[in-house]
């Protein structure tokens, strides 16, 4: 292991001890290697012992730096695994780090362009507009058109830091996975999901592609605007997009001062989310407030501006159908249907008792039955569903985690803008319409058009396959002995092999009994040797000639 990795490992171990992070697991379930390591660092003092555990975890991740901060942010969305207090503490983590030097940013931009900045841009601002753990952004203008743009550039050396920290995270995850609590938390899968997400953020061509796809889906829409991507400059380390001006979605005071229709804005956020998920099957999965601005050019008809498409989510057609069925079953208080959906999807163990599962769901959700739907959190209902299903063997798919996280963001944001927002009333007609469309003649015709050519290509093969199978069936009826000869021969070999194996086993067991009853060992050795030879012959007989 390189010296830098050893030093980093020591820093992480020391921080774990300082903030007593082993307390996350019950004492009886703490992996011995981690306990030994914690004890070995006995000279390291404790910090913030008076703070509750969730706050200590948050402070520790802040101390460990950007990669762990982003990991904590991702963990905060896994409310199916974490309790609410810990999830809330991790959600407060801010991915803000000091900007790296402007001359380094300029060098990396020019390396990506393959030319001096001045060849393509003017008014390049060396001072960063914003800086995060993976990248930072600078403003400029396009030389040929004067368009205002922002240049997003990957932080130098971050890939090596990320890979080093991921290796250490995975090692710790494997140790935790060996415990009983660890098996329930699936730490290796969680770290693997995070690895995929953060490594994807290192390739800005992926973000450019995602932004262009979402932009095309909402072309001409008055609900969401996606800034233009200047694809000719796309590079793994560089992204150039249109600079936008809008009111940050969290600046409620400015939105109210502009006379914004807050009810329409909140409902439009729900519309954008469900359109992305169910119509487009491509949703912005990092919709935290820093990535959302509002265009109030017409305050009575405000629209969203979304930036930073490094993380997007997609569901399979089956997952979309299942999620719609789950939401609609909850709307109708049909807990039996809820349980059936989870079992038939394979999201929970197929051996689970459906009646026990239905009872568990009913116990969680029946207290909500008499409450107005507008008072119930859509996102927290989904979290409760996943937590309950988790007890019956559910392993949440990464895309469903992104969906859960995004839904929590959208709902929290909508109610911040307009506290009376009834997300259920807004979502239910949309889901019912989408489900009705799925089985409509128009949609079936579209599926036939999509998959028809592939089926038509295979049509010429069908007569040959039918003829071949009919020939085989006729041959089997006329000469079953010849057709089944190889099968019969195989069964004979397996029968002989089984007899020899069991006979050998009897001889070996008898030798151990004889050894216990006699003084001399030779008869026992002879019996054992014959038994082993019988095993060897059984293995040889089992193999086809």
Q: Is 286 among the residues known to form the active site?
A: yes
Phi and psi at 249, nearest 5°, equal -60, -20
Record the tokens describing residue 150, joined without a space.
């922002």
Q: What is the rounded CA–CA span in Å between residue 466 and residue 162? A: 56
Contact 31, 69 (CB under 8 A): no
Nearest of 283, 286, 132, 135 to residue 202 by alpha carbon? 135
- CA–chain centroid gap for 104, Å, is 33
CA 468 to CA 474: how far, in whole Å?
A: 10
Burial zone of 387 (CB within 10 Å; 0-12 exposed, 13-18 middle, 19+ buried): middle
CA–CA dist 176, 190 (Å, integer): 12
Give CA separation, 399 vs 275, 285, 324, 364, in Å: 16, 9, 15, 24
Cβ neighbours for 85, distance < 8 A, ≥ 6 positions apart: 52, 54
If one counts every other C-beta atom within 10 angstroms of the C-beta of residue 39, the result is: 9
Q: Do 265 and 255 contact (CB within 8 A), yes or no?
A: yes
What Cα–Cα distance (Å) separates residue 503 from each residue in 38, 283, 432, 513, 538? 54, 63, 66, 16, 10
Reduced to 3 states (helix: H, G, I; strand: E, B; else coil), residue 531 is helix
Residues linked to residue 240 through DSSP beta bridges, in sequence order: 151
Instruction: Check: CB of residue 294 under 8 Å from CB of residue 302.
Output: yes
Residue of 80, 193, 286, 295 with catalytic role = 286
Q: Which alpha helices (H) appear in 366-484, and where do they start and end?
A: 378-390, 398-417, 423-438, 441-458, 461-478, 480-483
- Tokens 């049509």 locate to 459
Give burial (CB, 10 Å; 0-12/13-18/19+) of 306. buried
Q: Which residues are catalytic?
A: 286
């Amino acid at each position: 292991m390189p010296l830098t990795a050893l030093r980093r490992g020591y820093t992480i171990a020391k921080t774990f001890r300082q903030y007593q992070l082993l307390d996350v697991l019950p004492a009886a379930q703490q992996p011995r290697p981690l306990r030994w390591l914690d004890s070995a660092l006995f000279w390291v003092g404790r910090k913030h012992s008076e703070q509750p555990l969730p706050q200590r975890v948050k402070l520790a991740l802040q101390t460990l730096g950007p990669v762990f901060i982003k990991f904590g942010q991702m963990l905060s969305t896994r409310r199916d695994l974490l309790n609410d207090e810990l999830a809330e503490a991790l959600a407060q983590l801010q991915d803000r780090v000091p900007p790296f030097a402007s001359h380094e940013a300029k060098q990396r931009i020019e390396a990506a362009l393959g030319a001096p900045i001045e060849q393509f841009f003017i008014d390049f601002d060396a001072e960063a507009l914003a800086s995060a753990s993976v990248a930072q952004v600078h403003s400029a203008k396009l030389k040929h058109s004067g368009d205002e743009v922002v240049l997003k550039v990957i932080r130098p050396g971050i890939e090596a830091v990320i890979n080093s920290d991921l290796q250490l995270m995975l090692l710790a995850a494997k140790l935790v996975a060996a415990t009983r609590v660890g098996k329930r938390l699936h730490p290796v899968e969680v770290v693997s999901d995070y690895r995929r997400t953060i490594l994807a953020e290192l390739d800005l061509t992926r973000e450019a592609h995602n932004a262009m796809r979402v932009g095309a889906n909402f072309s001409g829409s008055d609900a969401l605007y996606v800034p233009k991507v200047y694809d000719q400059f796309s590079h793994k380390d560089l992204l150039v997009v249109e600079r936008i001006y809008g009111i940050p979605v969290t600046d409620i005071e400015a939105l109210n001062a502009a006379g914004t229709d807050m009810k329409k804005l909140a409902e439009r956020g729900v519309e954008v989310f469900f359109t992305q998920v169910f119509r487009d099957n491509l949703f912005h999965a990092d919709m935290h407030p820093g990535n959302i601005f509002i265009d109030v050019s017409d305050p009575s008809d405000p629209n969203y501006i979304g930036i930073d498409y490094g993380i997007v989510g997609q569901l399979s057609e089956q997952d979309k159908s299942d999620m719609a069925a789950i939401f609609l079953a909850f709307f109708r208080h049909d807990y039996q249907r809820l349980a059936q959906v989870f079992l038939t999807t394979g999201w929970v163990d197929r051996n689970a008792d459906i009646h026990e599962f239905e009872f568990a769901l009913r116990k969680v959700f029946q207290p909500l039955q008499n409450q107005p739907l507008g008072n119930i959190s859509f996102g927290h209902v989904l979290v409760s569903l996943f937590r309950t299903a988790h007890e019956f063997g559910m392993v949440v798919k990464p895309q469903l985690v992104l969906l859960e996280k995004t839904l929590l963001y959208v709902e929290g944001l909508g109610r911040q803008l307009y506290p009376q927002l009834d997300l259920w009333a807004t979502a239910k007609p949309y889901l019912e319409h989408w489900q009705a469309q799925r089985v409509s003649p128009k949609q079936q015709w579209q599926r036939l058009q999509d998959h028809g050519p592939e089926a038509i290509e295979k049509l010429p093969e069908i007569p040959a396959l039918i003829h071949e199978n009919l020939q085989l069936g006729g041959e089997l009826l006329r000469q079953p002995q010849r057709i089944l000869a190889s099968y019969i021969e195989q069964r004979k070999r397996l029968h002989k092999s089984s007899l020899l194996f069991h006979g050998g086993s009897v001889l070996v067991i008898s030798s151990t009994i004889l050894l216990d009853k006699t003084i001399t060992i030779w008869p026992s050795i002879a019996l054992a040797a014959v038994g082993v030879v019988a095993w060897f012959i059984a293995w040889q007989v089992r193999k086809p000639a």
